[in-house]
Amino acid sequence: MCVCQREMAHASIPTWIYILLWISTSTQTTVPDTHVTCVFSEECVLPCQFQPHGGEVIHWLRQEVPVHSFERGEQRTEHRQYAGRTSLSVHLVARGDASLHLRGCGPRDRGRYECQVHNSTEVHEAHVIVRVEAPIQALSVELYRLSGYEEMKCTTRDVYPAPHVSWATDPPAARPLRPITRKISDRKGLYVVDSRLRKLQSQSEITYICTVNSSYGTQAWTASVREREIRGEEGKDLTIPCKAPPHLHHASLSWSFTNHSEPALILTYDSRSRHTSALMPWEGRMHLDPLRVSLGDGSLRLVKPESREHTGVYTCVYAAPQMTHTENTGVKIISAGTGERMLLQDSPRWWTVAVVIAALALALTGILIFLKVRGDQSQASERPEDISEMHPVKVSKRGSCESNPLTTEETNGQSQPTQLVYTELNRASPHS
């Protein structure tokens, strides 16, 4: 009985309903989302492939906003934001390619796009997730002097979206680094990134490393810098050190020199050909070992340097894709006759302070000795017998001196005033 009722219920549903249900589930096809990264200001292609049947009508939408349409061989832009920037290849549409060409991409073009292809039998849909990126083109690290302290400055420009910046040192710092990073966008939406790290004073010969990662994780740039100062003697060969970090391989090398003017390129090394080229007038005045450079040691040897011509800042730069390492070496060439005098003039500040403190200590010691000697002399001149020299004494009529100078003597029953005199005991005689 139950089986018969079930069969009667199925028989009561018209056949055309099954047909409509089948059509509704088969006439709309979709494909998984496609992710596309468009380069800022360049042309980008949003893919959309379908099975051609002829007479297709194509619509492109961005988050349900019409962007571009194609019908009967004619196409048009649907939104003013895309005016003159969107198009389809007509000859490719007949082959089942409805990809949208988007020119002059910018941040406003990001989002989810939908491609709809209508024909007489079905509707084809495809979705494209678009992101726009202005890749990192260059990264620099340099010493920036501000009033009172020095900073390491890491800079990159015209980047989108805003990248992530991190700092490190070699050897590692004892305390966590605290850089200050600013990200400022211009009218086009591109970012200028400026990250500054105060120079560490507790250590010398430090390599500062700045790493910038793109927001989408497609790029990672690294720039490092190291600074030092050395001195040499005029007429004696001097080696200026320059070594590549362990992670930098197959890098080209260049040397430049600055002396009260703009930096001037003096030598280049090509890692592929291992060819070294010295520029005039430095040819013959320096030497670079290509074999050592290939091993990461690009130290430069100055041949018989002169104090006036070769004193300045020498900069070596290792360059590889998305990596650079810079070493700035301040070089002072001292004349042979003035070496000791220049050494004294350029002594460390702490040594000068120590000399001043020692001189003050000696002066203070001398003053204390002088005061002590003077005090001893004053005590010696004030002996008891010398102090009694100033006591007043009385001279009697008989010419004797009595010990009480303030009393009066009675003569013939009359009181006579006593004559008081001051005399030096060492000169007086008791019977004078």
Q: What is the tens place of the pLDDT at every residue in 391-431?
A: 444 444 444 444 444 333 433 344 444 443 333 434 444 44
Give the pLDDT confidence of 66-123 residue by residue, as tens digits.
999 999 889 999 999 999 999 999 999 999 999 999 999 999 999 999 999 998 888 9
Taking a C-beta distance cutoff of 8 angstroms, is the pair 235, 326 a contact?
no
Q: How far is CA 70 from the centre of its chain?
A: 53
Mean pLDDT for 36-51 is: 96
Q: How many helices (H) and strands (E) does the chain have?
A: 8, 30
Strands of 300-302's sheet, edge to edge? 238-240, 300-302, 286-287
Res 260: pLDDT: 80
Lookup result for tokens 């930098």: 248
Exposed / middle / buried, residue 411 (Cβ in 10 Å: 0-12, 13-18, 19+): exposed
CA distance readout (Å), 319 to 3, 154, 248, 255: 83, 16, 8, 12
| 6 SS3 class | helix
d(CA 223, CA 163): 15
What is the per-residue pLDDT for 368? 75
Residue 111's closest CA among 125, 133, 132, 82?
A: 132
β-pairing, 123-133 with 34-39? parallel
- Least Cα distance to 198 among 177, 175, 171 occurs for 177
